């Protein structure tokens, strides 16, 4: 099983990643073992998805990383209408 996840870093930004062990990866972020998130005092898991295939998780991570903060927030909030509107606005 593989996971794509979004962390909220001190309400300043969203960090998107993927892993095969979500709880271990969250511990690594919280223990300052990640070069990017170690500068934040607090990181909170706000969203995750499960995948059977590693490549599917990697592809989704790449997709989410290209999204705006507003679009990621709509996904996290489960606001499908706003997510659709933001998706149409880009095309």
- 3-state DSSP call for residue 54? helix
| Mean pLDDT (the chain, rounded) | 93
The Cα 1–Cα 90 span in angstroms is: 32
Domains of the chain, by residue range, sit at 2-66
Fold of 2-66: GIY-YIG endonuclease (3.40.1440)
Nearest to 73 by CA among 65, 83, 60, 88: 83
pLDDT at 90: 57
CB 37 within 8 A of CB 29: yes
pLDDT at 91 over 80: no
Contacts 24+ apart (CB under 8 A), 79-86: none
pLDDT at 35: 86
Q: What pLDDT band is residue 36 in, cutting at 50, 70 and 90?
A: confident
Least confident among 19-28, 30-39, 58-67: 30-39
């Amino acid at each position: 099983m593989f996971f794509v996840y979004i962390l909220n870093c001190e309400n300043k930004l969203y960090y998107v990643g993927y892993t095969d062990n979500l709880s271990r990866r969250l511990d690594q972020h919280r223990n300052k073992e990640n070069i990017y998130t170690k500068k934040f005092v607090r990181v909170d898991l706000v969203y995750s998805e499960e995948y059977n295939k590693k490549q599917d998780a990697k592809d989704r991570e790449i997709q989410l990383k290209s999204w705006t903060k507003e679009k990621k927030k709509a996904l996290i909030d489960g606001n499908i209408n706003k997510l659709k509107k933001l998706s149409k606005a880009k095309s």
